[in-house]
Amino acid sequence: MPAAPAPDEIFDRAVEAGQRRLDQSLLELVSTSFIAGFTIVFGLVALGIVESRLESVGHGVAALGGALAFGVGVTFLVAGRTELFNENFSDPVAAAVDSGDPTAVWALCRLWVVTLLGNLVGGGLFSLVFAVEGALPPGTPAVLATVATESVGRALGASFARAIAGGALVSLLSFLLVSVDSEGSRLSLAYVVGVLLALGPLEHVVVTALHVFLGALFGVSVGTSRFTIVVSVVTAGNIVGGLGLVTFAHVTQAAGARAGKE
């Protein structure tokens, strides 16, 4: 069995992956972000379908089944090499730090802004497909509406805390993906992270926003101001958890490992 890569070796892999992401043309970035947006909707819909089918067994079992189903959506994202906001924090930051070029900050901002907008537009448009009457099995719209109601009704402090954890988890996935060598390991990690994200439930801005949008399509009354506030709070939490905790810690870890070898 090959030895596990050292922290600085993982960092070098992250730099390579991150540079590829930073070098994408605008068309490629918009396309991959759009694809990621509608791909994650499959996970949301799967959660609703499975949870509605298991409600008669008990809420706990239904919630677990829904989380297990949602994990497939994250697996699709990783298999398709698409861009999901927050998942693309770790690698591009590693590339920017390694280059030492101050202008890389603009490339990072471009990457994250376009990714977030592309995710939301792609997911939002695809959600309209499932809003057609009869497109989803009976009971599924009610489950998705309940999830949306819980998301917009949660205390903002709790949403922020869950978003920090969700941002850390999704950014950790990016780091873990470059630390393994087999495609099977990559997909397994993606699935586990997806399940944990839904099981919490932890907040991820794209997932939360699309959950709420789906709920609105199924009759949940969501005020524009409340929606904006919730999405802003979750975005801030994702940044704190993804950049402030995971990405910063791994960059300093790699720097320490390199210093120890000198």
Place of tokens 């509608």: 38
Lowest mean per-residue pLDDT among 132-146, 212-226, 239-253: 239-253
Q: How many domains does the chain have?
A: 1
Range of the domain at 160: 7-257
- The distance of Cα 155 from the centroid of its chain, to the nearest Å, equals 21
* CATH code at position 26: 1.20.1080.10
Q: How many CA atoms lie within 13 A of 210 on its CB side?
A: 30
Residue 4 has pLDDT above 70, yes or no: no
Residue 1 lies in a domain: no
Burial of 25 (0-12, 13-18, 19+ CB in 10 A): exposed
Residue 224 included in any domain: yes
Per-residue pLDDT tens digits for 119-141: 999 999 999 999 999 999 999 99
Look at residue 241 and tell me whether its pLDDT is greater than 70: yes
Helices (H) and strands (E) in the chain, counts: 11, 0
